[in-house]
Amino acid sequence: MPYRFLNVDEVAGYLHLSKPDVERLVKDRDIPFETRGDRPVFRQWDIDAWASQRMLRASASRLVEYQPKSSQRTSSFLAGGALLPQLLQPEQIDPAMAAKTKASVLRDMAALAVRTGCVCDPPELVASLKAREALCSTAVPGGVAFLHPRAQQPYRFAASFLVLGRSVQPIHFGAPDGQPTDIFFLLGCQDERLHLHVLARLCLVATRTDVLAQLRVAPDAPAMCLRVTAAEQTVVGNTHRAPSPR
């Protein structure tokens, strides 16, 4: 549930960090927490928002450093190597999204997600996407946004997936550089441990390759899918296809 409380060990596992890393964040008050007695506790609702925002703002070097840690902590249910080919297929891509406002982007991307057959409650997904954007935009410099729900809930999706939309016209989506956005990813993870791992991978691919420029000139959905998976291969340097997280 969104208001579930976590202890230090649980937060460390959830964020793919060591316990000393979390204790250091608490000491420096760099992470949202409450105190019960002499122990810090963490609302999962707050940790979800804090972690995803840090990931979206992380430098390329920090994303590179994070990947081995998150890979180790997800190895029990997801092998290493390429992730995106297992999450994204051409039929999950809209290369000519007609949305002209932020609200219509959220609706159109949610509708695209529903077409995967993995969304259990479509209206709830739209509401959660809106709640996440109300906290702070998921758009980053470069004209791309990484949409995701406000909090990670295992009951929300029947399987993990990624959908991708390219808008016909760029839309002001709240990116920190003030520039419009035209490339939109929506990430849905059935297992909450997978969410930050894949979000970090997407951010790394976007910052370390020219995939955004390639997506803008790709002629259709299959070509866009190939651009994304090829860019990930460039980043991970591994042609092994990971088993499906589904």
pLDDT at 138 over 80: yes
Give the residue-averaged pLDDT of 111-136.
Answer: 94
Mean pLDDT (whole number) for 54-60? 73
Residue 109 lies in a domain: yes
Query: Both 102 and 208 in a single domain?
Result: yes
- Look at residue 245 and tell me whether its pLDDT is greater than 60: no
User: Does 115 share its domain with 182?
Assistant: yes
Predicted confidence band at 64 (pLDDT cuts at 50, 70, 90)?
A: low
Neighbours of 20 (CB within 10 A): 10
Domain of residue 25, CATH code:
1.10.1660.10
Residues 51 and 82 in one domain: no
Regarding predicted confidence, which is higher, 35 or 214?
A: 214
DSSP element (H, E) containing 147 = strand 144-147
Question: What pLDDT was estimated at residue 82?
Answer: 80
pLDDT band of residue 66 (cuts 50, 70, 90) is: low
Given a cut of 50, is residue 239 above it in pLDDT? no
Identify whether 68 is part of a domain: no
Q: What is the CATH number of the domain that holds 232?
A: 3.40.930.10
The count of domains in the chain is 2
In a domain, residue 71? The reply is no
Is there a domain that residue 142 lies in? Answer: yes
Shared domain check, 43 and 155: no
Could you tell me if residue 171 is inside a domain? yes
Find the helix packing angle between 192-208 and 221-236, rounded to 10°.
90
How many residues appear in the chain? 246
pLDDT at 243 over 50: no
- 244 in a structural domain: no
Residue 164 lies in a domain: yes
Q: Does 148 map to a domain?
A: yes
237 CB neighbour count, 10 Å cutoff: 7
Instruction: For residues 110 and 51, state if they share a domain.
Output: no
- Are 84 and 129 found together in one domain? yes
Within this chain, do residues 86 and 147 fall inside the same structural domain, yes or no?
yes
Q: Which pTM does this prediction carry? A: 0.81
Rounded Cα distance between 144 and 147, Å, is 10
Q: Is the same domain home to 199 and 149?
A: yes
Return the SS3 of 105: helix
Instruction: Compute the average pLDDT of residues 4-25.
Output: 86
Q: Which tens digits make up the pLDDT trace of 186-226?
A: 999 887 778 888 888 999 999 999 999 999 999 999 999 99
The range of the structural domain enclosing residue 48 comes to: 5-57
